[in-house]
Amino acid sequence: MTAATASTKATTSAPDPADSSTATTVEFRALSKSFGATVALDGLDLTARPGELLALLGPSGCGKTTALRMLAGFERPDSGQVLVDGQDISGVPAHRRDAGMVFQSYSLFPHLTAADNVAFGLKMRRTGAAERRKRAHELLELVGLPQHADRFPHQLSGGQQQRVALARALALRPKVLLLDEPLSALDAKVRVTLREEIRRLQQELRITTVFVTHDQEEALSTADRVAVMRDGRLEQVAAPAELYDTPATAFVAEFVGTMNRLPGVMADGDVEVLGQRLPVRGAAPAQGPVDVLVRPEALEATADGEGRSRVLTAAFHGSVTRLTLSLPDGATVKADVPSHRAATLPAGATVTVTLPQRPVLVDGPTA
């Protein structure tokens, strides 16, 4: 499936935010950018709908941050347009773009208190001191830090600093909120809490938000839709569940979640794998060997004294246990089984591995 078709599919399937009447649409249109010989963006077409949280997900160097920086006004596109509510803002300087941004590194102004940081934008707009103070305290309350108004950045923890940065980004009531990996410098526990907080605020304020991250879990758990990028291009944009369940390409399938590659053979449009014949989803060669892409939870492992596969290891993950299985042809795969069933599948047990009779994604001829 191409990016364009993926986008169309996602557009029809993702839920709309509750109220998008006053929210903003952001559109990247044929956006290209190179840094010397390195192509950062290669004709990116992508739309963030009014009031949605759109995550840009991809490996390092895929162009997600460049796209965000172009929306913020910190980079100029070589070609293409950035549109906000249909208006091309490519030539508008960053300080007139009406976009609040939270950065990856702690970006609070070290010489100002939390309240002064939040009020900085209002000061730039020449808002009166009393109004600034009122708004700063409102926003600090919104992010749960009213008691830290007088603290300087060095007196705040990383999570608190990012909360203040979020309040600062919202102070001017921007049309768009830009989040450039705001959680990546935080420890795991704070990261989870803060991403839930960001989501809550975003939904409460119904502000169109573009969230750059390389953490798939973060993207899937926070965003209305996730745009997966690779080499400056859009690979697929879809709602998290759709992206996980029906990835458009092998890259998306393997980048989002864990994916097994099982050896299979194409035959008359179907694929033969693990002794089963299954229909194929998406593009596939007509004949020959292929890799069949299957999620661990889609593999069914059943204890069978005469089974030809063997359990190598069993790792407890709470509600599920992840088994590492050795298949008859020597390939190793992962399979998730409910933990209450895992007792019957200890390491060394022989099992039979099957797949549900559903269309599967295949990838190229096997080397």
Partner 1 sequence: MARLTRKPLWRGAVGLLAGLYFLVPVAASVIFTVDVPGQGFTLDAYSGIVSADGFTDSLLLTLELAAATIVLVMVLLVPALVAVRLGAPRLRPVLEIICSLPLVVPSVALVSGYSSVLRWGPEHLSRTPLFQTFTAVQDKRFPFVLVLAYTVMALPLAYRALDSGLRAVDVRVLVEAARSCGASAPRAVLQVVLPNLRGALLNASFLTLALVLGEYTVGALLGYQPFAVWIVNTGGNQAQLSVAVSVLSLVVTWMLLLVFAALGRPRDRSRSLSRSRRAGRDAAAPAPIAQEVA
Burial 181-218 (b: 16+ CB within 10 A, else e): bbbebbeeebbeebbebbbebbbeebbbbbbbbbbbeb
Asked whether 280 and 360 are in contact (CB, 8 A), the reply is yes
Is 100 among the residues that bind partner 1 (CB under 8 A)?
Answer: yes
Q: For residues 115 and 168, give the distance between their C-alpha atoms in angstroms, rounded to a whole number.
A: 9
According to DSSP, residue 128 is labeled: -
What are the CA-CA distances from residue 293 to residues 80, 194, 283, 335 (Å)? 35, 33, 13, 13
Is 128 among the residues that bind partner 1 (CB under 8 A)?
Answer: no
Is 167 among the residues that bind partner 1 (CB under 8 A)?
Answer: no
Task: By CB under 8 A, name the one of 163, 195, 230, 322 that touches partner 1.
Answer: 163
Is 261 among the residues that bind partner 1 (CB under 8 A)?
Answer: no
Is 151 among the residues that bind partner 1 (CB under 8 A)?
Answer: yes
- Residues 103-122 binding partner 1 (CB under 8 A) are 103, 105, 107-113, 115-116, 119-121
Is 189 among the residues that bind partner 1 (CB under 8 A)?
Answer: yes
Tokens 């596969």 correspond to: 309
Q: Give least dist CB 48 to partner 1, A.
A: 17
Asked whether 271 and 280 are in contact (CB, 8 A), the reply is yes
Is 36 among the residues that bind partner 1 (CB under 8 A)?
Answer: no
List the beta bridge partners of residue 210: 54, 178
Task: By CB under 8 A, name the one of 13, 59, 79, 124 that touches partner 1.
Answer: 124
Count the residues in the chain.
367
Binding string to partner 1 for residues 58 to 97, with x set by CB under 8 A, is what? Answer: --------------xxx------------------xxxxx
Q: For residues 124 and 109, give the distance between their C-alpha atoms in angstroms, rounded to a whole number.
A: 14
Interface residues with partner 1 (CB under 8 A) are: 72-74, 93-97, 99-101, 103, 105, 107-113, 115-116, 119-121, 124-125, 129, 132-133, 136-137, 144-145, 147-152, 155-157, 159-160, 163, 165, 168-169, 171-172, 178, 189-190, 193-194
